[in-house]
Amino acid sequence: KTQPYADIAYGWAMEDTTGFAKLLADPSTGQLLGAHIIGPQASSLIQPVIQAMSFGLPVAEMARGQYWIHPAMPEVIENALLGLPLD
């Protein structure tokens, strides 16, 4: 799932039209396989994704098992997680 920065409130406010987060997951297991983040704050945004992958946290649990700050850049990760096609 590719999630543009512009599709979240903070990204829209920054008028960012090029930044994005792309998450890859195994549809049958719900495990994150990889991620690409291009744009402002990418080095901070990738950290929770790395932790989830390191600890084997399933996509659904990561997306729904915590509170996401609004408006803030981590919403780009939340929306990408929620948009992943899982079985």
Q: Three-state SS for 25?
A: strand
Cα–Cα dist 74/87, whole Å: 25
List active site positions.
Answer: 70
Give helix 75-82 / helix 42-55 axis angle, nearest 10°: 50
Q: Confirm if 54 and 22 have CB atoms less than 8 A apart.
A: no
